[in-house]
């Protein structure tokens, strides 16, 4: 018990003598709140030192403790920033990008639906069967009861009309298929991919 009282008195005496200097030292490297925390932690660590009574403690010893505490705080905050840069921010950017991509796809699908509605029923059937479903020209011709040449003409005319509608709608707008790699696909190329997925 007397050892604990002696430790407390020793640390209190050091606190009274050196707190302001330790705080001023920490304040040169950090804000007032952090400097106060560091200065208080210096003396809290002295209380935990196993051989406190054996040491002759000078201001340089206390400042070295403060320096080490500040350095540890800096290392931790730097590491936290690195973790944020490496993990969190890319994840947030991907999430934002995915939301933008889904909005762009929904917009393109809506535009595609309106553009398809402007085609004749024969052109719609030809595009749906050949482009979307991947059927052969022969299968599509047999299903619709027409020749392969007719199916080819309907598909060709339909795609030409779609391309014209997309080009007039977007004129010079370029979309990169949502990947951000700058390949510069037109909105029509995106629509063709959407048709194949449909």
Average the pLDDT over 110-121 and give the result. Answer: 80
Taking only the tens place, the pLDDT of each residue in 7-48 is 888 888 888 999 999 999 999 988 889 899 999 999 888 888
Q: Is the pLDDT score of 197 beyond 60?
A: no
Note the pTM of the prediction, 2 decimals.
0.43
Taking only the tens place, the pLDDT of each residue in 60-69 is 999 999 999 9
CA distances from 46 to 11, 13, 51, 53, 174 (A): 7, 12, 9, 10, 66
Q: How confident is the model at residue 132 (pLDDT cuts 50, 70, 90)?
A: confident
Cα(116)–Cα(110) distance, integer angstroms: 10
Q: How confident is the model at residue 169 (pLDDT cuts 50, 70, 90)?
A: low
- Using H for helix, E for strand and C for coil, what is the string for the chain? CHHHHHHHHHHHHHHHHHHHHHHHHHHCCCCHHHHHHHHHHHHHHHHHCCCHHHCCCCHHHHHHHHHHHHHHHHHHHHHHHHHHHHHHHHHHHHHHHHHHHHHHHHHHHHHHHHHHHCCCHHHHHHHHHHHHCCCCHHHHHHHHCCCHHHHHHHHHHHHHHHHHHHHHHHCCCCCCCCCCCCCCCCHHHHHHHHHHHC
Q: Which domains does the chain have, with CATH numbers?
A: 2-85 (1.10.1740), 118-197 (1.10.10)
């Amino acid at each position: 018990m007397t050892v604990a009282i002696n430790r407390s008195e020793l640390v209190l005496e050091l606190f009274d003598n050196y707190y302001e200097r330790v705080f001023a030292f920490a304040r040169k490297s950090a804000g007032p709140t952090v400097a106060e925390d560091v200065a208080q932690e210096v003396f809290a660590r002295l209380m935990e030192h196993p051989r406190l009574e054996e040491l002759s403690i000078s201001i340089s010893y206390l400042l070295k403790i403060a320096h080490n505490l500040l350095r540890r705080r800096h290392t931790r905050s730097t590491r936290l920033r690195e973790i944020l840069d490496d993990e969190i921010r890319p994840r947030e950017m991907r999430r934002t990008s995915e939301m933008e991509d889904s909005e762009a796809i929904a917009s393109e699908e809506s535009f595609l639906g309106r553009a398809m509605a402007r085609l004749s029923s024969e052109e719609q059937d030809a595009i749906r069967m050949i482009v979307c479903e991947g059927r052969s020209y022969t299968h599509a011709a047999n299903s619709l009861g027409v020749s392969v040449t007719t199916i080819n003409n309907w598909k060709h005319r339909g795609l030409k009309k779609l391309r014209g509608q997309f080009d007039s709608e977007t004129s010079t707008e370029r979309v990169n298929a949502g990947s951000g790699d700058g390949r510069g696909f037109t909105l029509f190329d995106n629509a063709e991919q959407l048709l194949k997925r449909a």
